[in-house]
Amino acid sequence: MVAARRLQRRRDRDRAGRFLAEGPQAVREALAAGAVLELFGTTEALERHAEMAARAEAVSPVTDEALAGLAETVHPQGLVAVCEQVDVPLATAVAKRPRLVAVAVDIRDPGNAGTVLRTADAAGAGAVVFAGDAVDPYNGKCVRASAGSLFHLDVVRERAPDVVITALHGAGIQVLAATGHGGDDLEDLLDTGVLASPTAWLFGSEAHGLADGLQAAADRRVRVPIYGGAESLNLAAAAAVCLYASARAMR
């Protein structure tokens, strides 16, 4: 139990190669992925979700107080699993020739990062890359926001964004930088069939967007059209629009 609680800290997660997945939805997806090493649960929760408890290799009943010490939410749902980290090397993900990739560069907000993961999964992406000084994808809030999608596609952590772009280009994947001041309009690319090709989208940090060097390294700099009075879209909304535009073009 003490070792599991340490996984609330990033340095301990990285040292152990493990993380916590909280709640029935996350635990269910982690079990399906074969990532669960130990399942902690209250007696009531283990009885309510007996099918999940039966699939876990190690089950540890705990009190409500002990479970609350593992959980990060205000109202825990009774289950927390210790999981093996599931990220893969960049080369492994790229070798699969994914048709759609989301690259989160320097994204710091775990809720946004988890939402990008979930949206990329829903749009049929094969991989999500956390590049630069990005949030830890195993942060508790990020795991919860991904709603299980963390276990559905390849997750990559790569510190050097330029290495990511080079690898994507090497695999024949066009790289599009999402920016509010891009020279290409998203709808024009959709209409002309550009988005039907294998594509990786670069999304920058919430505060600063993408660095000029990364925009220059991309094949195109793409803006989402704004028809009303809003100055811009937030990161998660822009990612959803771009990824679904690609998904539509590819289908």
129 and 219 both lie in a single domain: yes
226 and 172 both lie in a single domain: yes
- If one counts every other C-beta atom within 10 angstroms of the C-beta of residue 5, the result is 14
| CATH number (domain holding residue 43) | 3.30.1330.30
102 and 52 both lie in a single domain: no
Domain boundary (50, 84, 118) is at 84
| pLDDT at 116 > cutoff 90 | yes
63 and 110 both lie in a single domain: no
**Cα–Cα nearest to 76, from 99, 44, 103, 53:** 44
| pLDDT at 166 > cutoff 90 | yes
45 and 97 both lie in a single domain: no
Using CA atoms, how far apart are residues 92 and 162, in angstroms rounded to an integer?
17
Percent of the chain with pLDDT over 70: 100
Domain boundary (28, 60, 84) is at 84
151 and 75 both lie in a single domain: no
95 and 190 both lie in a single domain: yes
**Cα three-residue angle 124-72-59, rounded to 5 degrees:** 80
Strand partners, 22: 80
3-state secondary structure of 222: strand
Count of the separate structural domains present in the chain: 2
Cα–Cα distance list, 12 to 9, 107, 190 (Å) = 5, 21, 44
| pLDDT at 232 > cutoff 90 | no
Domain boundary (30, 50, 84) is at 84
Letter string b/e over residues 218-250, b meaning 16 or more CB atoms within 10 A of that residue's CB: bbbbbbbeeeeeeeebebbebbbebbebbbebe
Joined tokens for residue 8: 């609330």
- Rama region for 172: left / alpha / beta (φ>0; ψ in -120 to 50; rest): left
| CATH number (domain holding residue 104) | 3.40.1280.10
**Alpha helices per DSSP H over 33-130:** 43-48, 50-55, 64-70, 90-95, 110-122
- If one counts every other C-beta atom within 10 angstroms of the C-beta of residue 99, the result is 17
User: Where residue 192 falls among pLDDT bands split at 50, 70, 90?
Assistant: very high
Cα–Cα distance list, 223 to 44, 84, 155, 181, 249 (Å) = 50, 38, 26, 6, 17
Using CA atoms, how far apart are residues 35 and 55, in angstroms rounded to an integer?
11
The arithmetic mean of pLDDT across residues 72-79, rounded, is: 91
Contact 17, 139 (CB under 8 A): no
80 and 116 both lie in a single domain: no
Strand partners, 39: 59, 81
The domain containing residue 21 runs over which residues? 2-84
209 and 145 both lie in a single domain: yes
| pLDDT at 80 > cutoff 90 | yes
User: Where residue 174 falls among pLDDT bands split at 50, 70, 90?
Assistant: very high
